Structure 1
Amino acid sequence: MIKLKKSIPVIIFIFLIGFPAFSHPHMWFTSSLEVVFSRKAIKGAYITWTFDRFFSADVISGYDLNGDGIFSTKETADVYENAFSYTENFYYFTFIRQGEKRVTPEHIEKDSFSVWQNKGILSYRFFIDLSGFEGQEIFLACYDYTFFCDITYPENAAVKFIYDKTMVKPSYMIIENKNYPVYYDPLGAMDDNRIYYKWAPGLNTYYPKEVRIRFENAYEKKMDNYFFCR
C-alpha cells in the first residue's frame, strides 16, 4: 500500500501556490515517453507532460515574467521549485512496475527538468532513472486514480526509443492492467491518503493504463530470424 494524498491538495499546492488567481478545479495533460537504452540495457526515460490551455496560461503568466515566450534558466528553476517540485508529494504521478511490485521515482533532479511553451501550450520534461531494473520487460504508467487530473497518452506518439539498433530491439504496447489494479475509498476523508493494492468492502477499483516496454538482444533476434527463415 502506498500513501498518496488526494488530488484536491494537488490542485491547492500546484495551482494555488505560486499563482493564487488560479480557479479551475480540474486539469488535463498528456504524458509521453522517450525510453533511453545504453547498449543492451535500459537506462531511463524522459517523460513529457503537455498541459491544457488553462493551466498553461497560469504557469506562463506566473513565471515567464518578461513575456518573451521562452523560459530562461532562472524562470525554469522557479517553475521547478515552485510548481513542479510539489508533484514529488504525489509520486510525480509516475508508477513503475515489474511483476507485482510497484515503485515510484524517489526524486527528479533539477538538472533533468525543462519547461517550454508552444502557442500557449505548456510542457514539462524530466528524466527518471531506470538503470537499477533488471530483466527485459518493465511497465510504466502515469495516472491520478481519483480523476481530478485527467492524464492520457497521446495517440501515435506515446513512446519513442533512443537506442543502438545493433544492440537492442525494443517495442511497446499500452495495456489496461486488469491483473494488478489499485483500489481507493471514494468516501474517504480529505486526510485519507491511502491507495490500496488489496480489495476490501467499500473500495472502488481503478485499472491503470500501463506502457509495457519489452526489449531483446538484437543479435539474438537476428539469429532467431536467420534460423526461422532457413
Structure 2
Amino acid sequence: MMAKRILAAALASLGVAGAAQAHPHVYVTARSELVFGLDGRMKAVRHAWTFDDMFSSMAVQGLDANGDGKYSREELAPLAETNVTSLDEYKFFTFGKAGDKRVSFAQPVDYWAESGADGRVTLHFTLPVKDAAPEKGQPFRVEVYDPSYFVAFEFAKDNPAKLDQAPANCGVALERPPAPDAGQQQKLSESYFSGLSPGANFGAQFSNTLLVTCK
C-alpha cells in the first residue's frame, strides 16, 4: 500500500533522529486540471503529483523487472495501482466545495506512474465527480492537502493549475498556503502529532486551494 511505502521512505529519511523528526515526511509537487463536461459543470479533477527524491527512490525498489535501470509505465503499473487504492481512505487528499455543499469524488480512473529523468516519480490520476457537481457558472473550490500533514503539497511554480473544456468566461486562481512560521515548525514533532485527537485536520491550514469563478 502507499501508506507502507510512505512509511518506509519516512523511516529512511528519519535516520537516527527517530521520533524527534518533524512533519512533514513526504513532499509532493502538484499540478491539477479541472475538467468540465459539455453541460459546463466540473466533471473531474486530473492530478499529476511528483514525489520527492527520497520517496521516489524507495517507491521504485524492486520494480525494474528487466534490469535496464529504467522504469517503464508497465513496470510502474503496480505502484500506481497500490497508490490510488490506498489513497481512498484519505479521500485522495482532494476536497471540493460549491457553496455550502461538499463535492464528492468517485474512484480514480486513467491512473499511471512515470519516472522522470531526475528519478522522481510522478503519479497521474483522474477523480470523476460523484456527487454535488457545481452548477454551470457557480464558483467553487478544490483544496489539496493531507489533514495529518504527513505529506506536504506544493503546487508547481509554472502551470500549476488549469481548466479543461471550461466555459469561455471561467478562470482558475491558485491560493497557496502560508509556510509554517518558526514557532509552528518547532512544535511539529512526532510527539506533537501523536497527541492530536482523531480528525484534528491539522493540515487544512496548509491547503492549496484552486478557486474557480465565472464572469
User: So what's the TM-score if we normalise by structure 2?
Assistant: 0.70
SS at match of 2:62: helix
Distance 2:77 2:66 in 1: 15
Shift of 1:106: 4.2
Does 1:89 pair with 2:94? no
Relative to 1, partners in 2 of residues 1:50 and 1:205: Cα closer, same or farther, differing over 3 Å? closer
CA-to-aligned-CA distance 1:148-193 (integer Å, 9 cap, x gap): 21111112311122227xx53321112368xxxxxxxx85757943
Q: 1:193 aligns with which of 184, 195, 198?
A: 198
Work out whether residues 27 and 148 of structure 1, in 8 Å CA contact, stay in contact via their aligned partners in 2: yes
Shift of 1:93: 1.2
Work out whether residues 14 and 84 of structure 1, in 8 Å CA contact, stay in contact via their aligned partners in 2: no
Match of 2:5 in 1: 14
Amino acid at match of 1:152: E
Work out whether residues 94 and 104 of structure 1, in 8 Å CA contact, stay in contact via their aligned partners in 2: no
Distance 1:151 1:194 in 2: 19
Match of 1:157 in 2: 159
Relative to 1, partners in 2 of residues 1:106 and 1:14: Cα closer, same or farther, differing over 3 Å? farther
Relative to 1, partners in 2 of residues 1:44 and 1:150: Cα closer, same or farther, differing over 3 Å? same
SS at match of 2:159: coil
CA-to-aligned-CA distance 1:1-51 (integer Å, 9 cap, x gap): xxxxxxxxx9852335xx789622511011211222223332212111011
Shift of 1:140: 0.9
Tell me which structure has the larger Cα radius of gyration: 1
CA-to-aligned-CA distance 1:196-215 (integer Å, 9 cap, x gap): 6xxxxxx8982633111223
Relative to 1, partners in 2 of residues 1:204 and 1:211: Cα closer, same or farther, differing over 3 Å? closer
Relative to 1, partners in 2 of residues 1:90 and 1:47: Cα closer, same or farther, differing over 3 Å? same
Distance 2:2 2:79 in 1: 16
Distance 1:170 1:32 in 2: 19
Residue segments in structure 2 that go unaligned for 5+ positions in a row: 15-24, 178-190
Q: Give the % identical residues.
A: 19
SS at match of 1:194: coil
CA-to-aligned-CA distance 1:26-84 (integer Å, 9 cap, x gap): 110112112222233322121110111111112223323324424343x3431133344
Alignment of 1:128-167 (within 5 A): 128-130=127-129, 132=131, 133-135=133-135, 136-163=138-165, 167=167
Relative to 1, partners in 2 of residues 1:97 and 1:176: Cα closer, same or farther, differing over 3 Å? farther
Work out whether residues 14 and 86 of structure 1, in 8 Å CA contact, stay in contact via their aligned partners in 2: no
Match of 1:38 in 2: 37
Distance 1:188 1:13 in 2: 18
Shift of 1:139: 0.8
Residue segments in structure 1 that go unaligned for 5+ positions in a row: 1-9, 178-185, 197-202, 217-230
SS at match of 2:105: coil
Distance 2:193 2:163 in 1: 40
